[in-house]
Structure 1
Amino acid sequence: MSKEQSAETITKHIDAIVSQLQRKNAKVAFFVGAGISTNCGIPDFRSPKTGLYSNLRKLNLPYPEAVFDIEYFREKPKAFYTLAEELFPGKFVPSKFHYFIKLCHDKGILKRCYTQNIDTLERIAGISDDKVLEAHGSFSGNHCIECSNEMSREKLREFMDQERIPTCASCEGYVKPDIVFFGEALPAKLWEFWEEDVDDVDVAIVAGTSLAVYPFASLPAEVGKKANRILINREICGDFETNPRKSDIVLLKDCDTIAELLCEKLGWSKDLESLWLAGNKSVRDTTENETEDSSSQKDKAAAIATEIAEKVEAGLESDRKEEKNEKDKDVDVLADAVRKVSIT
């Protein structure tokens, strides 16, 4: 449950975190979720009104999560690709929290960034491949679900631009981005990295996640006892609520706001602003004065979630009409055959 924290409490916590980050040879690991991307205009999945699942619940899907179910994808891939069109990398600018992680990377203190997000914004922010672990996969690669043949992003985009489902050149199976669907295994690299990192973290920063999806949710609970755990979130959750440690720090605030406060205390504010403005210019090809504020981006997230729902519904309605037309044709053929039967 979320609650208001006083300015004095927030300042005290910020100072404590800064002290930890400034320690010699500090090793920082991030565990992040959709909450660090909502300020970018990307809708999350579980918010009651603006989340993708809330909007998809209105559709004629067997259940909202079916859009990410591998068996449903085999039968009806159109729903996923309608959603993928809106979330595809290139439309969104990393948030200030993404760039805060990037600064930790540049300052040499980032051990790893474990993310639940599929949007690749950590990579777009400039964090190197060996420092990012996308626990639920991402749009960074694409493979056939039957023979595992790889397809380039350019080729996949070509299919999508033509409103066609990407199919494998080798076996004609459906191709999808390397997002982990329900029914698929998590990346093997997750466990390889975690075995290396679990006892080698000084500061564990958990941000923008409800810690509701396992096994990712268990990672902050497993970090070594020497690690200082920090939660930056709208509400307290997971192990911070059920099994808190005395050294835990909890900041119940917007992730970008905390990133700005930390960078101010660390002397990184100019670096943060430069990265964020450069990201806006690069991704949106705009000037500094044309960047969107966070409230506009949140409105955009809600609009995108609704638009996705409407597009998926239109696609499903088209499928239903096609199925009905096929059934009508079958009935007409059967009726014609019956008329031609002569009774002897």
Structure 2
Amino acid sequence: MNHIDLDTANGADLNTLQQILGRSKRVVCVTGAGISCSAGIPDFRSQQIAVGRGKKKDESQGLYFQQFGNLKGRELFDASILKREDTTLTFMNFMTALKQQCEASKPTRVHEFVAKLDMAGKLLSCYTQNIDSLEHKTEVNAKKIVQLHGHLDTLNCIQCSEKLDWNDKVKQEVKEEEDVEDNDSTDEVYDDSARRHMIACPTCEARAFARELNGRRRTAVGWMRPNVVLYGEPHPEAEEIGSRINKDLKKRPDCLVVIGTSLAVTGIKTLVKDFAQEVKGNGGHVIFINKTAPAKISGFSENVDYFIQGDCDSYMRDLAVRWPSFWSKSKQSTVDFKVQKSIKMASTTKSAVRATKTAVRATKSSAGKVCKPARKVMQPVSPSRLNRRS
């Protein structure tokens, strides 16, 4: 493994990395919470560290070390939180605040990098552990993004599995009577007694109301929860994601780029191991970009060619300087290129059609001249002449 520290890296190593990415044709990206930190969304495992002489602390503390009501970060992503009403309320308060934060955030340089790979025709898929959906704010093809842990775009009913877009109208409803703009108290923002973020399932409510009108007992009404996968619960899209991974493996990827993740989750360890082994078998390269070293994972660690240690966005800024033609790509320029190519092909096709028509007319004319005398000499063959030939 080649270890490149961004603070002390030499230009030759960084140029080599740029050349590798430039030659790669089928790239798979695996991203983690570290790529969204510069957008203002905290990761999970970063701890506050002293800056300067210890008088100031870094504000980007990971969710695992933050306190929300009576719960800490890890507990907020565990399925057991939904077993009690008070913790469920805390969960919804937290998720609503996180949703608002994600919507207010803009994509980072890493998100743009993934989009540029797609526009360059290099991206097979980007497997992200993030639920912020910042990738969809770029020009990337949404079909290329695989959200391994779900997202905050939709809500699911815990009773009937009804789906609901967590759009502006719904967010306005769940924020009714909420007034925390001038309140900096975390405990009050995540007040367990605040039921304003609990959304009743409209389908369940309609069914229960219809039964009540008919004089029958009301059925239970479920509440809507974000479409995120929590620790300790089965993944609802496990089969679809597994099928997607197998398809990408069969496409013979020649580069794996893992960015902004500590690879602490079991599922992600298996994923990067499988892709790393496939990429190396195809003669490709495995690149790991993160502030901390990759976890020791059998089948992955020994296959990492380059470990770039440092801030993810800092590396992308350096790459932009070394590879300006790549970063200048945009969806519009890609569309313009395709349009120009189509026009050129259409022009070529029209020329070919005209040439073909001219050739056909010439052939018909020439065939007519040859056939006329031929018709004069051709006579029916009598049976006696046929017999003589035999």
**Do they fold alike, i.e. is TM over 0.5?**
yes
Residue equivalent to 1:253: 310
How does 1:219-258 map onto structure 2 within 5 Å?
219-223=271-275, 224=278, 225=280, 226=282, 227-239=284-296, 244-245=301-302, 248-258=305-315
The residue aligned with 1:211 is 263
Aligned-partner SS, 2:30: strand
Aligned CA RMSD, in angstroms, stands at 2.6
Tell me, yes or no, if the aligned pair for 1:4 and 1:252 is still in contact at 8 Å: yes
Identical columns (%):
28
* TM-score, normalization by structure 2: 0.63
Compare 262-271 and 212-221 and name the one that shifted more: 262-271
Partner residue of 1:325? none
Match of 2:161 in 1: 148
CA contact (8 A) 1:74 1:174 kept: no
User: Conserved in 1, the CA contact under 8 Å of 2:32 and 2:259?
Assistant: yes
Contact 1:231 1:240 in 2 (8 A): no
Pick one of 100, 109, 120 that aligns with 2:122: 109
Correspondent of 1:201 among 250, 253, 267: 253
Letter matched to residue 160 of structure 1: V
- 1:87 Cα deviation (Å)? 1.8
Q: Secondary structure at the match of 2:263?
A: coil
CA shift at 1:222, angstroms? 1.1
2:175 pairs with 1:161: yes
Name the CA distance, whole Å, in 2 between partners of 1:164 and 1:257: 37
Cα displacement (A) at 1:268: 4.1
Which residue does the alignment assign to 1:85?
Answer: 96
* Pair 216,243 (structure 1): closer, same or farther in 2 beyond 3 Å: closer
Q: Output the CA distance in 1 between the equivalents of 2:297 and 2:12.
A: 19
SS at match of 1:170: helix
Give the distance between the partners of 1:4 and 1:250, measured in 2 at CA.
6
In the TM superposition, residue 132 of structure 1 has moved relative to its aligned partner by: 0.3
Per-residue deviation at 1:269?
7.2
Task: For 1:166, give the aligned amino acid.
Answer: I
Contact 2:81 2:91 in 1 (8 A): no
From the superposition, tell whether residues 36 and 98 of structure 1 become closer, same or farther in structure 2 (CA, over 3 Å): same
Shift of 1:141: 2.0
Give, in angstroms, the shift of residue 74 of structure 1: 4.4
- Which protein, 1 or 2, shows the higher relative CO under an 8 Å CA cutoff with sep ≥ 6? 1
Any unmatched runs of 5+ in structure 2?
49-60, 177-195, 205-220, 332-390
Instruction: State whether residues 13 and 249 of structure 1, in contact with CA within 8 Å, keep that contact through their aligned partners in structure 2.
Output: no
Letter in structure 1 aligned against 2:33: A
Bigger radius of gyration: 2
Q: Distance in 2 between matches of 1:129 and 1:193?
A: 14
- Using structure 1 for the length normalisation, give the TM-score: 0.71
Distance 1:244 1:67, change over 3 A: closer
**Shift in alpha-carbon separation, 1:70–1:6, aligned structure 2, 3 A:** closer
In the TM superposition, residue 23 of structure 1 has moved relative to its aligned partner by: 2.1
Deviation string 1:79-127 (CA, Å, 9 cap, x unpaired) is 1222223321321011111111111111111111000101001111232
2:7 and 2:310 in contact (8 A); partners too? no
Alpha-carbon distance in 1 for matches of 2:111, 2:6 = 25
Indicate the residue corresponding to 1:138 in structure 2: 151
Aligned residues: 269
2 CA distance for matches of 1:59 and 1:262? Answer: 42
Structure 1 unpaired stretches of 5+: 276-344
Quickly say closer, same or farther: Cα 1:10–1:251, change in 2 above 3 A. farther
CA change 1:220–1:270 in 2 (3 A) is closer
Question: Do residues 70 (structure 1) and 127 (structure 2) align?
Answer: no
Question: What is the CA–CA distance in structure 1 between the aligned matches of 2:304 and 2:314, rounded to whole Å?
Answer: 22
